[in-house]
């Protein structure tokens, strides 16, 4: 890949569908594994993609997860049509979750999604609009992390 | 230790339910939790994961983290779609009638996971 090249992928995510949940993140991980990147960064990107995808599945009606790989960074963008995040600061706190009891019993909704992403990402940008949706942009630098 | 050595230890009462072809994997440590995000944050590649979750999303977690396999404890039977997905993805699923606490204790006594570092720092302090 040259500096002007980039690889793009966009994957739809169904809200409330636990049958297809995780497929977008798996596809992103498999794709990244073909780029000969440091395994540690692939792991980070896989965690980010999974948590972003599961946020769409557990909270939104529908959405998509996009991947862009350039020479400099892995960029994952998750966009959804959903309720939005009422209080982003609270959502960033480990253990805080608005997921239903049913979803928690499946082991989701531990209130660790966004904190997990923050821990793995170099940059995290959240734009959220009440009753419209949320856009989460995650950037993992390739050049400062030698893996 | 390899997975296929582990499943032969009688006191673990392990039964392989899926991923028979992947039992030559080496087990490098273990992790236990029923919260999927805890597993995503802290389990490491090559770990064996002990849980009582039996739905198909556990397979995605194991695949994303390159886990050695999943042990479903407490006599809980994995759902059919979980086994189907595990076969597709090549993830060993093992069930045992032992409660999770006993499985974890016995694995630990075998030296599995005793030296694990499950700290949360992902990217180097950059």
Interface touch A119/B45, C-beta < 8 Å:
no
Helix (H), strand (E), coil (C) string for B53-101: CCCCHHHHHHHHHCCCEEEECCCCCCCHHHHHHHHHHCCCEEECCCCHH
How many angstroms separate the CA of residue A19 from the nearest CA in chain B? 7
The 10s digit of each residue's pLDDT in A30-76 is: 999 999 999 999 999 999 999 999 999 999 999 999 999 999 999 99
- Chain B residue whose CA is closest to A57: B57
Architecture in CATH of A7-141: 2-Layer Sandwich (3.30)
DSSP A45: H
Give Cα separations from B21 to A102, B7, B29, B95 (angstroms).
34, 13, 21, 16
pLDDT tens-digit profile of A84-123? 999 999 999 999 999 999 999 999 999 999 999 999 999 9
Q: Write out the two tokens for B48.
A: 């064996």
Out of A22, A116, A141, closest to residue B57 by CB? A22
| Interstrand relation of B69-72 and B48-51 (parallel, antiparallel or unpaired) | parallel
- Does residue B126 register a pLDDT over 60? no
- pLDDT confidence of B91, banded at 50, 70, 90? very high
Nearest-by-Cβ selection for B57 from A44, A106, A111? A106
Domain ranges of chain A: 7-141
> Is the domain defined by B3-109 classed in CATH 3.30.420.40?
no
Q: Residues B27-58, buried b or exposed e (16+ Cβ, 10 A)? A: bbbbbbbbbbbbbbbbbbebbbbbbebbbbbb
Q: Which residue of B has its CA nearest to A103?
A: B35
Domain-wise residue ranges, chain B: 3-109
pLDDT band at residue B120 using 50, 70 and 90 as cut-offs: low
Phi, psi of A41 (to 5 degrees): -75, -35
**Distance from first CA to last CA of chain A, Å, rounded?**
19
- State residue A143's pLDDT score: 80
């Amino acid at each position: 890949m040259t500096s002007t090249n980039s690889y793009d992928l966009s994957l739809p995510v169904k809200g409330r569908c636990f049958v297809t949940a995780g497929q977008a993140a798996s596809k992103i991980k498999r794709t990244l594994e073909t780029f000969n990147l440091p395994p540690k960064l692939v792991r980070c990107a896989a965690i980010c993609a999974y948590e972003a995808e599961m946020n769409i599945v557990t909270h939104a009606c529908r959405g998509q997860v996009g991947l862009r790989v350039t020479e400099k960074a892995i960029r994952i963008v998750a966009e959804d049509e959903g309720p939005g995040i009422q209080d982003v600061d609270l959502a960033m706190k480990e253990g805080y979750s608005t997921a239903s009891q049913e979803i928690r019993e499946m082991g989701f909704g531990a209130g660790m999604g966004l904190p997990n992403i923050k821990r793995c990402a170099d940059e995290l940008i959240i734009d959220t609009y009440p009753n419209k949706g949320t856009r989460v942009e995650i950037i993992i630098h390739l050049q400062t992390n030698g893996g | 230790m390899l997975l296929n050595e582990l499943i032969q230890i009688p006191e673990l009462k392990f039964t392989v339910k899926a991923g028979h072809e992947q039992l030559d994997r080496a087990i490098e440590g273990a992790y236990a939790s029923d919260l999927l995000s805890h597993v995503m944050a802290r389990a490491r590649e090559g770990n064996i994961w002990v849980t009582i979750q039996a739905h198909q999303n556990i397979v995605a977690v194991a695949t994303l983290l390159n886990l050695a396999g999943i042990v479903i404890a407490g006599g809980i039977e994995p759902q059919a779609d979980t086994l189907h997905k595990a076969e597709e993805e090549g993830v060993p699923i093992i069930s045992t009638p032992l409660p999770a606490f006993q499985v974890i204790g016995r694995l630990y006594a075998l030296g599995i996971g005793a030296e694990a570092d499950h700290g949360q720092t992902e990217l180097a302090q950059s």
